[in-house]
Structure 1
């Protein structure tokens, strides 16, 4: 359906849902994530119990899902968990799981200011004065995300989903991640011997985690909304799951998320040691250097497999696009980086 048809459907839906005449004054397509489409939606509820004006983002499915991506229903639940834990993230509104409304599940969330573009965050001079505080704020918010434990989730369906097929009784959280990546590797049509070597190393070096906590799953430059006033919010929760805190802490430090600022290992905006020190202060947890190495290798393998998956979306015809095809060619960079880290680890 086109944007006008979607707007009309949603106006009728919200009028019924909110028990008050609702108009959408503007509905503009925004850049989406790998699995979702986003539209700016300025709403006015003219009467009823939720009367008022709302600046929201309408979020729905897009094409094929990626490895371990959540449904909109589960993503909505995770956003609520994070929001209730005090994480600076947009407030979610009005989940709908009935596909008959628009063809896909959807929900609305609070619109926040700022840009998430990697090169803007790491290079724009208007942010020079706030990058130091941005480092502290991101570390503080990541500590709040990691404060959420499985026992805090009262939605049993969501709790089970966030285990992503892992054994809740297995204290070696990495075992589940290794199994998941091995299954993905086995599904690939071509052979990737470097990935096999990396996976074998991960299998051999896995060890218990300190705690199982909520993991954002894609905590990196590109998924934070920032203005010259500072951090506005953390977005894109579609890869959230229960896991080891070091997974998020190393994902943000991966070479691929530095956007040309390779000397600033934490997302291109800070030194790794500076970011980790801020996280330890906020969380009260001392990080394990061995786990940092381990999960950075894991992250590079995960993204290498993800890059192949992006290319396959293009090649299959499900989501044609030059960007998807180009990302597929980058898998070798992550293979090289993972092998380099393994070699340096001794």
Structure 2
């Protein structure tokens, strides 16, 4: 659908929904993720109970969804749940599940300031004075995310969706994650002996979780907006699920998300120990070094499988793109990192 046609459809839809005349200006495509696309849009509503001006982002699906990614409807519900828990994330509103409007479900969310680009976050001089503040804010907000538990989720359908088809309890979170990765690996063409070795180690070493909490699922540099004033908001919730807190904590610290600043293990902008210390204080928990190592191995395997999956989307013709094609070659880097972590754990 052409951008001009999309704009007209959304103006008509919002006019009916908001009981007024709607004008959309400055509708510009933004860089999206692997399974969604975003448009910046300034919306003016004349008349009706919600009359006013709104700076928004329109968010919808594109191409083929990745394994374990949420629908836009479920993503909206998770964003709403996190926002109401006090997490600094853009407020979501105006959800539409009827695909006849634009061809896919969609929703709008408040547009926030800042940039999320990895190299901007870790290297731009404008952030030199606020990186410690950003570290503090991110750790505290991650603790707020993890304060949401299945017991607090009132939407029974969403509660089940966030299980990812697994029976999730403190004893089975790791085992369920291993089984999910094994199923993905078995569905892939070709042989991946290093991944099989890593999976076997993860299966053998699976620890019991201290609690089952809401996991962002892609909590890393590139998925939060910052500027010279600090953290502006955490975004991209399409991989949210119930899980072990150590999954988010180690995903941020994976080598691949440091964008050249390898000595700053927490996302390329902070020391891991500093980030974990702030998190422990905010969450009121003590992190387990053994579980940290375990879930970092898990994260590297997960991303290795994800890299191959994205390349396959390109090769199969489902969703052509040079970025998807190039990501496939990164899988061996994650295999190496996971094997290195395992080797260090047995020294």
* Aligned 8 A contact 1:116 1:223 in 2: yes
- Residue 151 of structure 2: aligned partner: 151
2:64 aligns to what? 64
CA–CA distance in structure 2, aligned partners of residues 92 and 345 of structure 1: 42
Partner of 2:285: 285
CA distances 1:97-120 after superposition (whole Å, capped 9, x unpaired):
111111111000000000000000
Alignment of structure 1 residues 41-80 onto 2, 5 Å: 41-80=41-80
Tell me if the contact between 1:165 and 1:176 (Cα under 8 Å) persists in the aligned partners.
Answer: no
Aligned twin of 1:123? 123
What is the match of residue 268 of structure 1?
A: 268
- Displacement of 1:168 after TM fit? 3.2
- Partner in structure 1 of residue 333 of structure 2: 333
Partner of 1:315: 315
Distance (Å, rounded) in 1 between the aligned partners of 2:225 and 2:170: 35
Unpaired runs of 5+ residues, structure 2, are none
**Pairing of 1:1-346 with structure 2 (within 5 A):** 1-169=1-169, 171-346=171-346
Q: CA, structure 1 residues 139+7, in 2 after alignment: closer, same or farther (shift >3 Å)?
A: same
SS at match of 1:167: coil
Paired residues, number: 346
Query: Cα gap change, 1:145/1:170 in structure 2, threshold over 3 Å: closer, same or farther?
Result: closer
**CA apart distance, 1:169:** 4.4
Distance 2:207 2:253 in 1: 21
Q: Deviations over 1:10-64 (max 9, x none)?
A: 0000001111111102210000011101000110010100000000000000101
Separation of aligned partners in 1, 2:111 and 2:8: 20
- Residues 208-259 of structure 1: CA deviation (Å, up to 9, x unaligned): 1000000000000000100011000000000000000000000000000000
1:261–1:164: structure 2 CA closer, same or farther, 3 Å change rule? same
User: What stretches of structure 1 of length at least 5 have no aligned partner?
Assistant: none
Hey, what's the Cα distance between the residues in 2 that align with 1:21 and 1:83? Answer: 29
Q: Note the C-alpha offset of 1:321.
A: 1.2
Give the SS at the match of 2:101. Answer: coil
Query: Which string of whole-angstrom CA distances, capped at 9 and with x for unpartnered residues, describes residues 170-202 of structure 1?
Result: 622111111110000000011100000000000
TM-score, length-scaled by structure 1: 0.99
Q: Which runs of 4+ in 1 moved over 6 A?
A: none
Q: Once superposed, what is the RMSD of the aligned Cα atoms?
A: 0.7
What is the CA distance between 1:166 and its match in structure 2?
1.4
| Deviation (angstroms), 1:152 | 0.8
Q: Contact conserved, 1:58 with 1:109, CA < 8 A, in 2? A: yes
Q: Find the aligned partners of 2:78 and 2:288 in 1 and give their Cα distance.
A: 27
Classify the secondary structure of the residue corresponding to 1:143: helix
Q: Distance in 2 between matches of 1:172 and 1:108?
A: 36
Structure 1, residues 278-336: CA drift from partner, whole Å, max 9, x if none? 10011111000000000000000000000001101110112111111110000000000
* Per-residue deviation, 1:78: 0.2
Please tell me whether the aligned partners of residues 91 and 110 of structure 1 are also in contact (alpha carbons under 8 angstroms): yes
CA distance in 2 between partners of 1:3 and 1:180 (Å): 38
Q: Is the 8 A contact 2:170 2:210 kept in 1?
A: no
CA–CA distance in structure 1, aligned partners of residues 170 and 157 of structure 2: 20
Alpha-carbon distance between aligned partners in 2 of 1:254 and 1:170, rounded to the nearest angstrom: 24
Tell me if the contact between 2:168 and 2:212 (Cα under 8 Å) persists in the aligned partners: no
Structure 1 Cα separation of the partners of residues 107 and 235 of structure 2: 14
TM (normalized to structure 2)?
A: 0.99
